[in-house]
Structure 1
Amino acid sequence: MANKLVIIDTDCGIDDAQAIMMALAAPNLEVLAVTCVFGNATVENVCQNILRVLSVCDRQGIPVFQGSAGPLVGVNWSPFSDHFGGDGLGDVLEDKDPQWKEKIQQEHAVNAMIRLASKYENQVSLVALGPLTNLALAIRLDPRFPQKLGELFIMGGNMEGKGNVTVCAEFNFAMDPESAYVVLEEFICPTYLTTWEYCCRNALTWEFFEELVNQDFPAARFMKAVTSKCWAYSKEAMKNKRDVYFGPGFVSYDSYAMAACVDGSTVLESIECPVRVELQGSMSRGMLVLDRTKSLKKSHAVRVMSKCNVKKFGRLLMESLKQPWRK
């Protein structure tokens, strides 16, 4: 069987790094490109973070493209440094690469997406792990872009109005609600949503996390370093954050979307229905609405994941940090 061709669109924070490592470890995936978008950090930091991850896994041959530096609409955007640190990787890595710009492709990320989807029409799986700005721009430049994709996996949005950066909205959608709206209205390719609640309700234990990052491989040592001072990976900090809604557990958000792409059997149950992103609400802007009664009269639906095979997911995570493979 031929490998699944994948483009990863990311705002590379710590959980994005974990998801990318999962893709690199998957024997059935061929990563065509990594495209960068603002979000967990500035797009310049995101590019550098991707280069670090590829270097740690000894996969520097994968091309990296710089994309959108801010949302589709609005100004004065600043990175959400409260979560994964100012650089997106926990602010613990001191060895900056002064020549990183020379290692980034000259082509813009959106143009690269369109080119690759056109070259491999209906064969590319696009995994979107950050704000959806690059995807929204792609359909504006090429209205047939979604039709050229084989499938789309999105980590973002929510099912129940529980938010993690605002009262009602999840981070990726809150960072660029207009782009999320455009993508979920206009992308008619098979689309799979990994929501915030799906990730949190299918958490792993903190004991699993300790075992995960204490493996004797470069990728595991890297992950242990970048999570070492990050409150988002602290059991104590989470007691007043995520645990209020979902109870204790270790959650690698973006990895759930990647796992669904790597192995569809990690998703045990999903809800198929139309969805829409709220743009106007004073408290609910960026919130995802599931239209299970078909009130919106939309012509297409998406699959919203609801139950995960946590054991399979855990195995994929564990394997992802055994990189590079010992010879």
Structure 2
Amino acid sequence: MKKKLILDVDTGVDDAQAIMVALADPNVEILGITCCHGNTPLENVLKNTLRVLKVCDRLDIPVYRGCDRPLKGKRRHAGSFHGKDGLGDVPDPDAPGLELLQKKRAFSAMIKIVEENPGEVTLVATAPLTNLALAVQAEPSFPEKLKALYIMGGNTESRGNTTVCGEFNFVADPEAAYMVLERYTCNTCIATWEFTCRNSLPWSFCDTWFAQDTDKARFMSKISSHTRKMIQTERYQKELVAGPGFNSCDTYALAAAIDGTLVTEKEQVAVSVELDGSYTRGMMVLDHMGLWGERRKAVILKKFDLEKFKQMLMNALK
């Protein structure tokens, strides 16, 4: 039986890599892709998602328009990192048009898909969590019907990559992140910023990965060029938790959702999100002391089987 997934994305380069890994796995069925503000404005996210599906010859997968702004506060984007358009600023004149989008809104689509497949759907969220927050507001029982939730976001050591203490996806909509960690009662696994940094891959692998003689590999090499230059800057290297290397942040959460054996070490702990601090707004908080009593706990990923992960990445571009 295939693993049924919904992907909630803000398609920049690493989301594109995650989508392609999911598409390449014969044991995965993507029931829908919901789009959210984040790495780039929503219109770009929609276009980028369709571009990825076109390269993989999978425009049959439904794509839904989601939120274009956070629940509160100003929009944040990561144009300096992924390129202003989210895919390295290398436009495709033959990219699919937005008329291919589904009419239903993202959060409504999530609810409907899960209601039709209760207990069978894993939701993989690699964007700010605004769409997920709207889904649980509209249908409070929605999380109970999910099989699992995998999130790329948050941090465990107050190491920021957007603010002093905040990871991008959580900082881009702290209220949504807080609501999701409070109200999603399904099994929840989180690939944090520090986790992805510590499990980054050598540049030599990246060279081999992109060198495959396929249209997918050429596409990925082209859209990743800008991001690779950014990662190799002195400023970014100082942000990394563990040495230089290639970090496809979103793909870790997606890969773990597909194959749980990739996770070789994890920790279960109660978590929340700081909303009010002058320096810490959007930071994920962990209760290692058990002061929150019976508060629901999330699984924090710690270590990964990198050889298996490399093979998944290679397969995605074949």
TM-score of the superposed pair, with normalisation by structure 1:
0.94
For structure 2, the residue ranges without an aligned partner over 5 or more in a row are none
Q: Which residue does the alignment assign to 1:289?
A: 285
Give the residue type in structure 1 aligned to 2:292: L
Alpha carbons of structure 1 residues 205 and 235: separation in structure 2 relative to 1, 3 Å: farther
Q: Which moved more, 1:76-85 or 1:35-44?
A: 76-85
Alpha carbons of structure 1 residues 86 and 144: separation in structure 2 relative to 1, 3 Å: same
Deviation at 1:298, TM superposition (A): 4.2
- The CA distance in 2 between the partners of 1:236 and 1:16, in whole Å, is 16
Alpha carbons of structure 1 residues 17 and 223: separation in structure 2 relative to 1, 3 Å: same
Q: Is the 8 A contact 2:81 2:230 kept in 1?
A: no
Q: Is the 8 A contact 1:239 1:248 kept in 2?
A: no
Give the residue type in structure 1 aligned to 2:37: F
Give the residue type in structure 2 aligned to 1:315: Q
Give the residue type in structure 2 aligned to 1:119: E
Aligned match of 1:267 in 263, 269, 272? Answer: 263
Q: Which residue does the alignment assign to 2:16?
A: 17
Q: Which residue does the alignment assign to 2:81?
A: 83
Q: Which residue does the alignment assign to 1:201?
A: 198
Deviations 1:268-327 (A, max 9, x none): 0001010010111111111111112211224311100001111111111111111xxxxx
Aligned match of 1:115 in 112, 115, 127? Answer: 112
- Is residue 320 of structure 1 aligned with residue 313 of structure 2? no
RMSD of aligned residue pairs (Cα, Å): 1.3
Give the residue type in structure 1 aligned to 2:127: G
Q: Which residue does the alignment assign to 2:228?
A: 233
Deviation at 1:78, TM superposition (A): 4.7
- The CA distance in 1 between the partners of 2:304 and 2:229, in whole Å, is 23
Q: Which residue does the alignment assign to 1:71?
A: 70
Provide the secondary structure at the position in 2 that maps to 1:280: coil
Q: Which residue does the alignment assign to 2:57?
A: 58
- Is residue 152 of structure 1 aligned with residue 149 of structure 2? yes
- The CA distance in 1 between the partners of 2:281 and 2:76, in whole Å, is 18
- Written as runs of structure 1 = structure 2, the 5 A alignment for 1:202-221 is 202-221=199-218
Q: Which residue does the alignment assign to 1:46?
A: 45
Deviation at 1:234, TM superposition (A): 2.4
Deviation at 1:20, TM superposition (A): 0.3
- The CA distance in 2 between the partners of 1:235 and 1:68, in whole Å, is 27
Deviations 1:208-250 (A, max 9, x none): 001111111111110001012x1x3127734321445321111
- The CA distance in 1 between the partners of 2:117 and 2:231, in whole Å, is 46
Q: Which residue does the alignment assign to 1:93?
A: 91
Between Structure 1 and Structure 2, how many residues are aligned? 317
Q: Which moved more, 1:250-259 or 1:298-307?
A: 298-307
Give the residue type in structure 1 aligned to 2:278: S
Q: Is the 8 A contact 1:85 1:91 kept in 2?
A: yes
- The CA distance in 2 between the partners of 1:11 and 1:147, in whole Å, is 24
Deviations 1:81-102 (A, max 9, x none): 11111110010124164x6221
TM-score of the superposed pair, with normalisation by structure 2:
0.97
Aligned match of 1:191 in 184, 188, 193? Answer: 188
- The CA distance in 2 between the partners of 1:260 and 1:27, in whole Å, is 16
Give the residue type in structure 1 aligned to 2:262: T
- The CA distance in 1 between the partners of 2:185 and 2:230, in whole Å, is 40
Q: Which residue does the alignment assign to 2:274?
A: 278
- The CA distance in 2 between the partners of 1:175 and 1:197, in whole Å, is 18
For structure 1, the residue ranges without an aligned partner over 5 or more in a row are 323-327
- The CA distance in 1 between the partners of 2:22 and 2:231, in whole Å, is 30
Provide the secondary structure at the position in 2 that maps to 1:160: coil
Q: Is the 8 A contact 1:124 1:151 kept in 2?
A: yes
